[in-house]
């Protein structure tokens, strides 16, 4: 019978450690040391070439320091776009700068952002949350966070807002559109028509796309949403994406509670219990505008707070499910 290990030696791992790609100047050591001591397997990179090679090694998460001496100017932001397009969540570390900096990082593909100096306990908590996201609670909750992206009206250039949007676009539209971060022609044509309609005061309408032939997916809907120009940029629109079952729930909320589509989208997203700053960014809103939208939503529903608004939403969706049976 094999002898047990001595008490002063660590027990062998029963599961493989999560592999993290840390993109950071090699002169900075404490972050890597803490992560290794916490049991993660690390891949390290200090420049764009090493970072892309590390991405090919299959990390579960990328941690990117936006201060990279090897990449001056907009080099770190361009590298973030490339890493964010690889299907792996990217957690960025940056120093506070102008108010739009955080929005620029999220638009470039960051899943979450931390501002330096970073408390190590918060860093480790964010890493675990990104590696092991908690499932949405309740049958009426959205299956995933808001899938949204900002699009330049002039040419359809996409500045990604959430990883969910990238995943849906990749599933429904094959290359080469994604290689150039441009809307597919049929979606761009709809955006131009819808933008003209909105300026003329017409009610919002959606575009629905069928999946590629033979693909086992639902249909995908696009909707233009109100957003802060200061957050998403002048000449840009915010696109929100939903697959068929979510689009149906959204329509149910709008009809049952007599809400405009933008308010129904806000309420539907709240069912997933997102952090307020995350939902605000996903909807292209600044903090103040987000609070105003919540107050207007509660006032429109005639309820005193968001908790009562959520109860109305769950009741409306639950009644709809019962009617379908």
Residue-wise pLDDT for 198-248, tens only, equals 889 888 788 888 877 655 557 889 988 878 888 888 889 999 998 888 888
Longest CA span, the chain: 82
What's the pLDDT at 142?
46
Determine the Cα–Cα distance for residues 172 and 213; give it in Å rounded to an integer.
10
Does residue 301 or residue 73 have the better pLDDT?
301
Determine how β-strand 19-23 pairs with β-strand 61-65: parallel
What's the pLDDT at 28?
61
Model confidence pLDDT, tens digit, residues 27-58: 665 677 788 888 899 999 988 999 999 999 99
Determine the Cα–Cα distance for residues 119 and 267; give it in Å rounded to an integer.
33
Q: Is the pLDDT of residue 173 over 60?
A: yes
Model confidence pLDDT, tens digit, residues 73-89: 888 888 998 898 888 99
What's the pLDDT at 15?
56
Does residue 152 or residue 318 have the better pLDDT?
152
Question: E strands along the chain, which residues?
Answer: 19-23, 41-45, 61-65, 90-94, 112-115, 147-152, 158-160, 207-209, 220-225, 236-243
Band (98; pLDDT cuts 50, 70, 90): low
Average pLDDT along the chain: 80
Contacts of 50 (CB under 8 A, 6+ apart): 44
Contacts of 177 (CB under 8 A, 6+ apart): 169, 183, 184
Determine the Cα–Cα distance for residues 230 and 58; give it in Å rounded to an integer.
36
What's the pLDDT at 215?
58
Determine the Cα–Cα distance for residues 53 and 268; give it in Å rounded to an integer.
39
Determine how β-strand 90-94 pairs with β-strand 61-65: parallel
pTM: 0.50
What's the pLDDT at 6?
41
Model confidence pLDDT, tens digit, residues 106-143: 778 888 888 888 877 778 888 888 888 765 444 344 44
What's the pLDDT at 248?
84
Q: At what angle do helices 244-256 and 306-324 cross, to 10 degrees?
A: 110
């Amino acid at each position: 019978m094999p002898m047990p290990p001595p008490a002063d030696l660590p027990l062998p791992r029963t599961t493989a450690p999560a592999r993290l790609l840390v993109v950071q100047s090699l002169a900075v050591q404490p972050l890597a040391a803490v992560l290794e001591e916490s049991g993660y397997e690390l891949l390290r990179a200090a420049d764009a070439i090493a970072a892309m090679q590390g991405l090919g090694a299959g990390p579960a998460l990328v941690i990117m320091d936006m201060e990279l001496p090897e990449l001056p100017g907009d080099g770190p932001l361009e590298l973030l776009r490339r890493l964010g397009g690889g299907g792996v969540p990217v957690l960025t570390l940056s120093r506070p700068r102008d108010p739009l900096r955080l929005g620029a990082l999220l638009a470039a593909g960051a899943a979450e952002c931390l501002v330096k100096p970073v408390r190590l306990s918060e860093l480790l908590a964010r890493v675990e949350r990104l590696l092991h996201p908690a499932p949405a609670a309740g049958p009426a909750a959205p299956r995933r966070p808001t899938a949204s992206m900002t699009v330049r009206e002039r040419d359809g250039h996409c500045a990604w807002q959430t990883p969910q949007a990238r995943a849906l676009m990749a599933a429904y539209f094959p290359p080469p559109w994604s290689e150039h971060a441009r809307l597919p022609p049929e979606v761009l044509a709809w955006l131009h028509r819808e933008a003209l309609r909105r300026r003329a005061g017409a009610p919002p309408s959606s575009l629905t796309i069928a999946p590629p032939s033979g693909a086992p997916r639902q249909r995908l809907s696009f909707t233009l949403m109100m957003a802060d120009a200061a957050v998403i940029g002048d000449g840009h629109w915010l696109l929100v994406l939903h697959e068929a079952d979510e689009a149906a729930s959204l329509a149910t909320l709008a009809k049952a509670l007599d809400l405009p589509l933008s308010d129904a989208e806000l309420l539907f997203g709240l069912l997933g219990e997102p952090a307020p700053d995350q939902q605000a960014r996903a909807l292209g809103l600044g903090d103040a505008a987000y609070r105003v939208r919540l107050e207007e939503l509660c006032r429109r529903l005639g309820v005193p707070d968001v908790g009562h608004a959520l109860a109305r939403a769950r009741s409306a969706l639950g009644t709809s499910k019962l009617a379908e049976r």
